[in-house]
Structure 1
Amino acid sequence: MAADRGEAVDERIDVLAWGTPPAWSAGRALLLPLHYPAAARTVAGHLADDPAPWTLFWHPRLGAPPLEDLRALVASGAAEAWHGGLALGLAGLPDEHDYIHPTSPFVLDPDPEVGGTCWRLSLGAALVRTDALKAVGGLDGGFEGATGAGLELGRRLLERGAVVRHSSALVPIVGCLSEPLSERDRFLFLRRTFGRKWVVYASVRRALATRHPIRVARGLAASGRAAAAHPAIQPGLVERPPAPFDRAARVSVVLPTLGRYELLRPLLAQLGRQTVPPLEILVVDQNDPDRRDESLYAALASKGVIPIFQDVKGQWVSRNAAVQQARGDWVAFVDDDSEIEPDFIAAHLEGIARYGAELSTGASLAVVGAPVPDNYGFFRVADQWDSGNGMCRRSLFAEMGLFDEQYDRQRRGDAEFGLRVQLSGRLVVHNPNATRVHLKAAEGGLRTFGQWDGFRSKDRSGPLPVPSMLYFSATYHSRRQQREDLALGLVHALVPYHLKRRATPVQWAGFLAAELVRLPSLVRRVLTSRRLAAEMVQAGPHIPKLAL
């Protein structure tokens, strides 16, 4: 960040006010027409007319803009966009997000008083870096109201690499200044963000939920006409320049292993060739005592490889044990079925410095399963933290606690830690330069417990999904989000792991027919999972504290 590197920060801010512009000394003050389509054209003209480095959208009913607070946000360099959307009535909008990505970390809003990552931007109070606004194409002229346009802009900024955060400094008092989100704009947002297939699905669900099918149908049709008249913006990326970082950083690598010595050996060699050498490589060996290869560690002791032999098998109890023992200021995490480049550690450190992030997750390129998403190729706010490719300061565990051991031998323990960090107001960043090839070994690791992912298991008689999936959603999400996540997960799980997001309609039909035959077994497995998850919820989190 510029402030951290001692660079001069240009604090000029142009204010675009909905109505009478305020007296303003930090830049130009312009009037935005209250009719949104005209306002969008005004903004486009402003962006083409040598604007200041920052643009403030402001509603005069909020009083005078807090100039000193705005300058402090600019000087922090922590985000490309700051807004007061949660204080202005946008929390949880649009509701239909729950039907599409019910347990995405972005469906949850931070505490408005704490602030943090949040795309629900209000054009009534938003401070945006002007070059970021230009990069993503400005405001979308297809909306009829500022509420839908602000939500879409915030989401577009976030998905194209900008850090977008709610700040109580902009609007300290929670109110409801934003105009209602119209049916037309609701569905136009969903079209722009998720595509035609999902907007049709969401419209059916909304019609059933609201019992107003005619109103919903009209809104859906109007959004289709708007999308045709105003094609979606083709946004560019919001990028930051590389940042200097400490190449002498003390990094402890945490590496659990179980049943994969043939993959562990080359990975240890790759860790030994890092451009930023690790202080130590803590290998948590969970193999049975009679299957341990202690000679491997003896041969590599001079290279900083330290074994931690653990009889209890579990990925979170093992990582917690290693973090407790780590001597480094930084902790890097990698799975034992990975291949990494020589700059793996350096890339994580540079990305953390570039964004001032608390938690970093790299790009995991799987050899089987779903295709690699396009957004793996650029820096952005992470949509999930991956303990198979990640890094953070060790002190973060002192502040947040260690991993929840309720997730041992199950799924979503790393997602839970990442979400815990995000909801505390801290930044979790996806780093495209810190790559690993995830070999997805058929044996060892979580495959020892029969799992490919949370909804796909080798055991066709065990709980479905893995109970920790339901425990995770029950911990953080509403009942509706829990219900939708379970339903979508069961549908997606019809397809085998190796065909994930690749199956043809004919294959889908075959998998569905096969599952209908097994319907009684499916119901029993789901009920078993729900019972076990309820027991986990009743027991509560098992989050150890870091011993200092």
Structure 2
Amino acid sequence: MTFSVSVVVITYARPQFVRTCLEHLGRLESPPHEIIVVDASPDDRTKILVAEEFPHVRVLRNDLGPGTMPESRQIGFADATGDIVAFIDDDAYVDPDWLDELRKPYADPAVVGVGGRASNGIKGEETKGLGEIGRLLPDGRLTGNFGANPGRVIEVDHLLGANMSFRRSALQAIGGIRGNYPGTCLCEESDISLRLKRAGGTLVFQPAALVRHVAAPYTSGGKRFDRRYLYYARRNHIVLLARVYGWGHPLVRRYVWSTIRAQSDYVWEMLVRFGPRMADGSRRPFVRRITSPVILTRAVAELAGLVAGFPAGWIARRRDRAMGVG
């Protein structure tokens, strides 16, 4: 059986990336059923570009603006008509056989989601974390390692938002895609995956379904892995665990303790930076030594996010119940 695939590209103020992304989609060996671009930009540059250069592509509007990637995905999903809905970011450029490889695992009716590999051009990423691709760990943390290549299809717990797909019927059955993962939008794709797993579905990682991920940060404020990122990473993770598993689940308290223990790494780094000698034996600049406590502000950001996750999770769970979304 051949499954029809709707491809949804989400974007914010990056028309140049959208152009390259759509050019690669146009070179697929098997074309998709449809391509939908969901644009949250503050201007019409992307809309105009797509209309002029890719008239077969449908453009939908997300008026909520930056920091609303899951809302953009839901807008695209609600409009899609394919058997499978595949999501890629505007900076993820597909290989010609991407769609064919993405389809293959769906021959198993138990498979409700298939994710592909994202090559970031980082040396050694093909072998890094081969044993922990897309896993939910016992302490509540999530592993990535989506640049690794195990050489075969493997079962996983969650998928990478830049290269993931789902059976439309399975996603409809759980109420679609939930929003309320603000800031850097971390954990929003994991929310979809973990809910589908809880509903009894199987998710797999297909390394042959490859995208080249430029991974340039969005211009919606802040830099990747800065203190803002750390804050929302912890905040959204607590929200994720609470929404999917409930406050009483052991994963919630284990994640809290693992986060608190992890802050000792910043203390150790501060002490190392305060030392009089560099790793090569040279003398460390005095200004570098006296400013070493600044590293502890990263711990403050993480712990603040952890605390903020509790009221945010409570509000999100209340909204979910009111909307009947599981």
Please state whether the residue corresponding to 2:180 is helix, strand or coil: helix
Unaligned 5+ runs, structure 1: 1-244, 496-504
Q: How far off its partner does 1:269 sit? A: 1.2
The residue that corresponds to 2:15 in the other structure is: 261
Q: Which runs of 4+ in 1 moved over 4 A?
A: 492-495, 512-516, 542-546
The residue that corresponds to 1:530 in the other structure is: 306
User: Given the superposition, is the C-alpha separation of residues 329 and 532 from structure 1 closer, same or farther in structure 2, using an over 3 Å criterion?
Assistant: same
Residue in structure 1 matching 2:70, options 312, 316, 331: 316
Please state whether the residue corresponding to 1:334 is helix, strand or coil: strand
The residue that corresponds to 2:272 in the other structure is: none
Letter in 1 for 2:177: F
2:234–2:302 contact (8 Å) kept in structure 1: no
Letter in 2 for 1:481: Y
1:274–1:345 contact (8 Å) kept in structure 2: yes
The residue that corresponds to 1:431 in the other structure is: 206
- Distance in 2 separating the partners of 1:417 and 1:492: 32
2:238–2:252 contact (8 Å) kept in structure 1: no
The residue that corresponds to 1:332 in the other structure is: 86
Letter in 1 for 2:164: G
User: Given the superposition, is the C-alpha separation of residues 411 and 494 from structure 1 closer, same or farther in structure 2, using an over 3 Å criterion?
Assistant: farther
- Distance in 2 separating the partners of 1:355 and 1:513: 59
Aligned length: 279
Asked if residue 405 in structure 1 is aligned to residue 158 in structure 2, the reply is no
Q: How far off its partner does 1:258 sit? A: 1.1
The 5-angstrom pairing of residues 99-138 of structure 1 reads: none
Please state whether the residue corresponding to 1:431 is helix, strand or coil: strand
- Distance in 2 separating the partners of 1:473 and 1:493: 27
Please state whether the residue corresponding to 1:320 is helix, strand or coil: helix
Deviation sequence 1:405-429 (CA, Å, 0-9, x none): 1213320111121111122221100
1:286–1:309 contact (8 Å) kept in structure 2: yes
The residue that corresponds to 2:235 in the other structure is: 467
The residue that corresponds to 2:141 in the other structure is: none
The residue that corresponds to 2:222 in the other structure is: 450
Unaligned 5+ runs, structure 2: 131-147, 246-250, 270-277
The residue that corresponds to 2:262 in the other structure is: 488
The residue that corresponds to 1:241 in the other structure is: none
Asked if residue 421 in structure 1 is aligned to residue 190 in structure 2, the reply is no
Identity %: 21
Larger Rg: 1
Q: How far off its partner does 1:520 sit? A: 5.8
Deviation sequence 1:137-164 (CA, Å, 0-9, x none): xxxxxxxxxxxxxxxxxxxxxxxxxxxx
1:362–1:435 contact (8 Å) kept in structure 2: yes
Q: How far off its partner does 1:478 sit? A: 3.6
Q: How far off its partner does 1:260 sit? A: 1.8
- Distance in 1 separating the partners of 2:241 and 2:124: 23
Please state whether the residue corresponding to 1:276 is helix, strand or coil: coil
Q: How far off its partner does 1:339 sit? A: 1.5
Letter in 1 for 2:220: T
Q: How far off its partner does 1:309 sit? A: 1.9
User: Given the superposition, is the C-alpha separation of residues 506 and 435 from structure 1 closer, same or farther in structure 2, using an over 3 Å criterion?
Assistant: farther
- Distance in 2 separating the partners of 1:368 and 1:296: 31
RCO greater where, 1 or 2, for CA within 8 Å and sep 6 or more? 2
- Distance in 2 separating the partners of 1:308 and 1:488: 41
Letter in 2 for 1:471: V
User: Given the superposition, is the C-alpha separation of residues 474 and 260 from structure 1 closer, same or farther in structure 2, using an over 3 Å criterion?
Assistant: same
TM-score (norm 1): 0.46
Letter in 1 for 2:231: P
Deviation sequence 1:67-109 (CA, Å, 0-9, x none): xxxxxxxxxxxxxxxxxxxxxxxxxxxxxxxxxxxxxxxxxxx
TM-score (norm 2): 0.74
Q: How far off its partner does 1:506 sit? A: 4.5
Q: How far off its partner does 1:488 sit? A: 3.4
Letter in 1 for 2:258: E
Asked if residue 348 in structure 1 is aligned to residue 97 in structure 2, the reply is no
Most deviating of 258-267 and 401-410: 401-410
- Distance in 1 separating the partners of 2:181 and 2:165: 20
User: Given the superposition, is the C-alpha separation of residues 363 and 514 from structure 1 closer, same or farther in structure 2, using an over 3 Å criterion?
Assistant: farther
